[in-house]
Amino acid sequence: MSVCKVCGAENDGSNKFCISCGSPLETEAPREGAPVNNAEHQAQYQPPQPPQYQYAPAAPEVKEEKKPEKGAISVLGFIGLFILFSIPVVGLVFAIVWACGVTENKTLVNYARAWLILWAIALVIAIVASVIIAVVVIPNYKHLWPEIERILREIVH
């Protein structure tokens, strides 16, 4: 038995390296002239084995089923919402209220938000078109204003 000077572990006398830390062990020097059987020494050497750890088996993946969204809107529901939102003041009020998330139905909230965004885009386009008409078209037809005023006076009287 030999003791490792690095870690202090006891090793078999035939080992050249410590089985615990792998550092070389001091061995007796072979006698001069004595044949050294390297194959025998190599067969006896066993490298240190890494510790075996017990791992818990991986848990199988559990796929959660997608539940249908609460209160999904049918095709007829969308047609009804389209008609409701088309009513000038009432539709705007409902769209604003639902777009603010008063209801828990995400489909209804998203539809109301999309409706308001589309109306905002349409409003911007209408304003731009009105400005273009006011700046470009009307000044080119100034010679028609007297005739338009005459027709309006006849209608009023």
Tell me the residue type at 134: A
Helices 106-132 + 88-99 axis angle, to 10:
130
Torsion of CA 36, 39, 43, 46, to 10 degrees: 70
Residue 94: other Cβ atoms inside 10 A: 18
Measured from the Cβ of residue 95, the count of other Cβ atoms closer than 10 Å reads 20
- For 13, the token pair is 């006398």
In this prediction, residue 18 carries a pLDDT of 84
Three-state DSSP state, 24: strand
Token duo for residue 152: 């309006």
Q: Return the half-sphere exposure (C-beta side, CA atoms, 13 A cut-off) of residue 45.
A: 14
Contact 27, 5 (CB under 8 A): no
H-run or E-run covering 119 = helix 106-132
Domain ranges of the chain: 1-47, 75-156
Spell out the per-residue pLDDT of the chain, length 157, in tens: 778 888 888 887 788 888 888 888 876 555 555 555 555 555 566 777 777 777 767 777 777 776 655 667 888 988 998 899 989 899 999 999 999 988 888 888 999 999 999 999 999 999 999 998 888 877 777 777 788 888 989 988 7
